[in-house]
A and B are shown apart, each in its own frame.
Chain A
Amino acid sequence: MTKKTVLLISCLVFLFCGCSKTNKNTVVFEVGGAPNEISFWEEIIKDFQQQSGIKVEIIRQPTDTDQRRQGLVVALKSNKNNPDVFLMDVAWISQFAASGWLENLDNYLKADKVDTGIFFKNVINLSDKYNNNTIALPVYVDGGMLYYRKDLLNKYGFNNAPVTWDQLIEYSLKIQKQERKTNPGFYGFVWQGAQYEGLICSFIEFAGSNGGIIIKDNQIKINTPANIKTLGMLCDLIHIQKISPPNIFTEMKEEEVRTFFQQGDALFERNWPYAWSLHQNDDSAVKGKVGLASVPHFAGNKSASTLGGWHIGISKFSDAKDLSWEFVKFTVSYETQKKLAMKLGWNPGRKDIYKDREIKQKFPHFSYLGNIFENLTPRPNLPYYTQISEIMQKHINSALSGKTNPETALKEAELEINNSIKRYLK
């Protein structure tokens, strides 16, 4: 054998070693997020390994939700035995479950006598059940809410946060006019309006405060007078009252909205709970000046808050299911969930954390959040939700940009949705 052949063969051997299966005694956990989130998970894994002696390997993913989903879909679609455990955005659980990729957790729960009553009941029912099987558990919960500037409302003689949309518009118009004298870039209300999933989260909330989207017998009704009114109001916020900046429908995603508000340039902000601790940072212009309230509603209706958050599940193709369950159990344990809140400021899926003394001291707003989380509005819980969302994003964003009027936008969206979901019905 010549030298070259030896080299070639060893190269190939190394190549295939890379593809070999990992040890069955190892749990492979796929998770993404910002660097501080990843290091949090690494810490958790270290604790788990010390306690249980089970080895956990981490597969790092990017921060972007779509890219995290893409990574998981590729592995699960090809029935790979890795990853064993992963985090899922609440918006994709039904697709994963309907594809048969998630292990039924009921037997594990029963064997270990874990009571799902420790989690928010409606969160479990709305997102973690598929055909009456429990297929995931909530790691942390999100719900949309209204942040407001306490100091500015007081300064201009308003005692409470707005309850209805009319009040929000009234407060904004008055305060914006006055504040512009010193800060010409000041706006009344910022929210997520770019063409992406976050737009649908806001829209479901705003529409939900006026009746909402109706799903019945695989027909989706969004073209209702109430929804047209809601969308009309959103367009007016940008183009008529001008209390929302014109880049709402091009650039405003969670982080853009948060920084805009945090620089002291807005009176109201619609965002997820994560923004709270960041607003309290030392470099924040609104530190100590922020209040938290439910998103306003239309007169004679109730506020809505969109259900978000990440859930943990076990792959059906996993080769280490029992060990994986141990890890899942560990992530939803009291200690880990408390750490999640203390270290990252996230809102745990367990209810009992919200009554913890230490937590209450550090995050006084948690008790308020606990109430909101009892009544969250889910996004349509369908395996083909993503397609519906894509179509809605396109048409709603088009109306916000002023290209089409709200009536046409919703009419076209409903038509396109009901046409395209025919493909996805059995």
Chain B
Amino acid sequence: MNKELRSPLLFIAPVLTFILIFILLPVIGTVVTSLYKDITYLDNKFIFFENYRQIFQDPGFWQSLRFTMFFILVSIPLEMLLGLIFAILIDQEVPYKGFLRVCILIPWAIPAAISSRTWELIYNYNYGLANFICSFTGISVQPVNWLGTSLGAFFSLVLADVWKTTPFIAIILLTGLQIIPGEIYLQAQVDRANFLQRFFKITLPLLKPVFIVALLFRTIDGLRIFDIIYILTHGGPGGATASLSHYSYKYFLAGDFGYGSAVSTTLFIISFLLSLVYLKFGKFQNTLS
């Protein structure tokens, strides 16, 4: 090994070891486990893809896959749109800019478990804030059971998720906005481009790489949605809001590690494929260079 290659390798060695031990090994372990019939009270048996075959015949799996897909299809576009609006707003020269930025970041800074508990209180049937507002303003005389129907539970979860993660998008997009050189905008002003023209011709194209990164993060994050479901609905009513991670967690809890790992691996493959699609459409390589 020549010296030029050796020293950079030495520098990244600690990080590599860390990734190897804490990320790569568990992932490989999960994939291997998914090929076994690994149930605590039965003998371990290597069964190739039998777990996967059973997953594809399991109505519970399809239901949670459908829910997870709908969930990211509805919540992520909303988060991206709102995040973009917030990013543009806090990028402007407004008074108390620092204070505003902190305010917008608060939902993201609160641990998901705690904010989900707060949402639980908001949606509560008897003393929840949402029902209080409804009766106070006269929108509805009868209290509404927000989490009681499939649709209601779905949108309650979407709202809680959008509230929580929009700041994350806003902050990433804000950094994207700030690396766009101001001269371009000055030039555009000289050319008498109006606000919309500047937005569509300059801001959006130059924001695209950062936008794709944010989208990618949120998609992977959204696919493995767990915490707010675990706290708010537990997959109810009637299994209508069971996400894929929640579904695999239940198998883990019951001691069926092989099947649970197979569901996790399927989830991993789905997010991997989706990421590839994003990278392809985002033309990530070109825009970066």
Contact = CB atoms under 8 A, between A and B. Distances in A.
B166 interface: no
Which of B59, B124, B126, B147 is the most central at the interface, judged by chain A CB atoms within 10 Å of its CB? B126
B256 interface: yes
Contact of A401 (B37, B39, B149, B235): B149
Given A245-B125, A251-B124, A416-B59, A423 B259 contact: yes
Interface stretch (B76-84, B187-195, B247-255): B247-255
A253 to B, nearest CB: 9
Q: Interface extent on B, as a size class?
A: 35 or more
Contact of B42 (A73, A247, A249, A426): A426
A274 interface: no
Contacts of B255: 73, 77, 95, 99, 383, 386
Contacts of B58: 420
A250 B148 contact: yes
B69 to A, nearest CB: 19
B38 to A, nearest CB: 9
A395 B238 contact: yes
Given A95-B40, A247-B125, A394 B256 contact: no
Instruction: Please report whether the interface of chain A is mostly helix, strand, loop or mixed according to DSSP.
Output: helix
B91 to A, nearest CB: 41
A397 B256 contact: no
Interface string B246-275: 000011111111010000000000000000
A217 interface: no
Contacts of B17: none
B176 interface: no
A100 B60 CA distance: 29
A416 to B, nearest CB: 7
B107 interface: no
Nearest to A259: B126
Most buried by A among B153, B251, B254: B254
B126 A246 contact: no
Please classify the interface of chain B as helix (H, G, I), strand (E, B), loop, or mixed, using the class held by over half of its residues. Answer: loop
A194 interface: yes
Interface in B20-44: 37, 39-42
Interface string A49-83: 00000000000000000100110010001000000
A195 interface: yes
B148 A401 contact: yes
A399 interface: yes
A95 B238 contact: no
B239 interface: yes
B34 to A, nearest CB: 14
Most buried by A among B147, B149, B239: B239
Contacts of B203: none
B287 interface: no
A250 B259 contact: no
B236 interface: yes
Contacts of B118: none
A92 B242 CA distance: 23
Given A246-B145, A394-B235, A397-B239, A73 B60 contact: no
B84 to A, nearest CB: 34
B223 interface: no
B54 interface: yes
26 contacts: A70-B253, A73-B253, A77-B255, A77-B257, A99-B255, A195-B236, A195-B238, A196-B234, A245-B126, A250-B237, A251-B124, A383-B255, A386-B250, A386-B255, A387-B256, A394-B239, A395-B238, A399-B238, A401-B238, A403-B149, A403-B240, A420-B58, A423-B256, A424-B42, A424-B256, A426-B42
Interface of A: 66, 69-70, 73, 77, 95, 98-101, 185, 194-196, 245-247, 249-251, 260, 383-384, 386-387, 390-391, 394-395, 397-401, 403-404, 416, 420, 423-424, 426
Given A101-B40, A250-B145, A386-B255, 17 more contacts: A98-B40, A100-B41, A195-B233, A195-B234, A247-B145, A386-B250, A387-B251, A387-B254, A390-B250, A390-B254, A394-B238, A401-B149, A401-B237, A403-B240, A416-B59, A424-B41, A424-B256
